[in-house]
Structure 1
Amino acid sequence: MTRAQLLLSGLLFTTVAATTNAQQSSTEFIQPSRPVPTGLAPHMQVKLVNQQTGQRTYAVIFSKGDEVVSGLTGFAKQYHVGDAHFTGIGAVSSALTAWFDLDRKLYHPLPVNEQVEVLSMIGDIASFQGRPIVHTHVVLGKQDGTTVGGHLFEAWVNPTLEVFVTADDTPLNKRDDPSGLRLIDPTK
C-alpha cells in the first residue's frame, strides 16, 4: 500500500463521515487539529547558520524518506522554537495537501502520488498549549509543468528538502478560532 493509500484509508489521518442531501456518505476529510506523528524524519540534519540578539536562523536539511511536517515539529521541540517562519525548496515522492472547507470546518485532502518539485514552501511555527504547531503551505511542480498546492499535512522527501527557519526569542501562541482552526493570537 502506498503512503497516499495509507493516508486515504484513514491509517495516518482522522476521517469524518459527511452528510450531503440527507444521505450519508463516507467522504473523507482531515480534522484541522489532527495530531502530527513524531519521529518520521530520522535523517534530518540541523545547522545553526546565524545568531543575533533575539533571533536564530537554522538550515534544516531533510533526506530521502524523511517526512517534513513530523521533522519540523520535532525540530521545533528539540530547539525550543515557539515563534518562527520558514521557506523551503526541494523534491518529494508523495505528499498530502488539502484545502479548508470553511462551512464544514474540515480539510479536503488533495493527495499527490508522484515525484514532484517543491517549488515553494512557506510557513510558521507558533505554540498551542505549550507545544509547537507547524503551519505550512506548498506549491508542487509536476513533470508536465502543472502545479498543485495547498495546506501541507505530509510530504515524503526524495532526494532532499532544504528549509531555512528563522526563529525569534519572543514566542507566539495560537488560540482556537470559531472557524475550527488554531490561529496566532497577537495579543498574547
Structure 2
Amino acid sequence: MICKKLGSNWVIRIDKGEEIVSNIKEICEKNNIKAGFISAIGAADKVKIGLFNTNTKVYHSETLSGDFEITNLTGNVSRKDGEVYIHLHITVSDEEYKAYGGHLNEAWISGTCEMLLTEVDGEIGRQFDDNSGLNIFELK
C-alpha cells in the first residue's frame, strides 16, 4: 500500500495480496484521520461481504472467491470510542458480469485498488442505536 496526500485528499493504491479494510484503518491511525469519505475501484480475488437484517438485527456474511472487478467501493471513516471506525459497501462483478454487493468486511486485492479518501475537518463519532441495532453517526 502506498498513499499520497493532495490537499484534503489521500490518493491510495492498495497492491496485489493486500487487504483493503486493514490498510485503510492503518492509514487513518497513522495520520490521525478522524472523518472522511472513500471511493475506490479495482480487482479482488477474495471478498467477504455482509448484510444486516433490520428486522431480526442479525448480521449475515459470505466470502466470495474468484476473479472480481470492484465496480464500486464507497464508505466513510469515523470514530467509535476513540478508535478508527471504517464503514464500507462494495459491489463486485464476476467473469459472467454478475454483480454482488453488501457491507464490506474484507477484500484481498488481486490486481490493484485505486482509492480516494477525502478527509473532513473535525470528527464524526458513532454510537450504538438500540432501535436499529447499528452503530450510527453521532451528530451532536
What pairs up with 1:109-124 in 2 under 5 angstroms? 109-124=61-76
Any idea what the Cα deviations from partners look like across 1:75-120, whole Å, max 9, x if unmatched?
A: 1111111110010000001100011112332221122111100000
Tell whether 2:124 aligns with 1:167: no
2:5 match: 48
What pairs up with 1:7-156 in 2 under 5 angstroms? 44-49=1-6, 51=7, 56-156=8-108
Provide the rounded CA distance (Å) in 2 between the counterparts of 1:106 and 1:163: 30
Amino acid at match of 2:3: V
Gaps of at least 5 residues in structure 2 are none
Amino acid at match of 2:5: L
Calculate the TM-score normalised by the size of structure 1: 0.72
Structure index of larger Rg: 1
Provide the rounded CA distance (Å) in 1 between the counterparts of 2:58 and 2:41: 27
Gaps of at least 5 residues in structure 1 are 1-43
Provide the rounded CA distance (Å) in 1 between the counterparts of 2:33 and 2:57: 28
Return 56-65 or 96-105, whichever deviates more: 96-105
**3-state SS of paired residue (2:18):** coil
Provide the rounded CA distance (Å) in 2 between the counterparts of 1:111 and 1:95: 6
Amino acid at match of 2:25: T
1:66 offset after TM fit, Å?
Answer: 0.6
1:33 match: none
More strand by share: 2
2:129 match: 177
Provide the rounded CA distance (Å) in 1 between the counterparts of 2:58 and 2:79: 21
Return 60-69 or 104-113, whichever deviates more: 104-113
Provide the rounded CA distance (Å) in 2 between the counterparts of 1:181 and 1:82: 20
1:180 offset after TM fit, Å?
Answer: 2.4
Report how many residues are paired: 139
- Larger RCO, structures 1/2 (Cα 8 Å, 6+ apart): 2
RMSD: 0.9
**3-state SS of paired residue (1:113):** strand
**3-state SS of paired residue (2:66):** coil
**3-state SS of paired residue (1:115):** strand
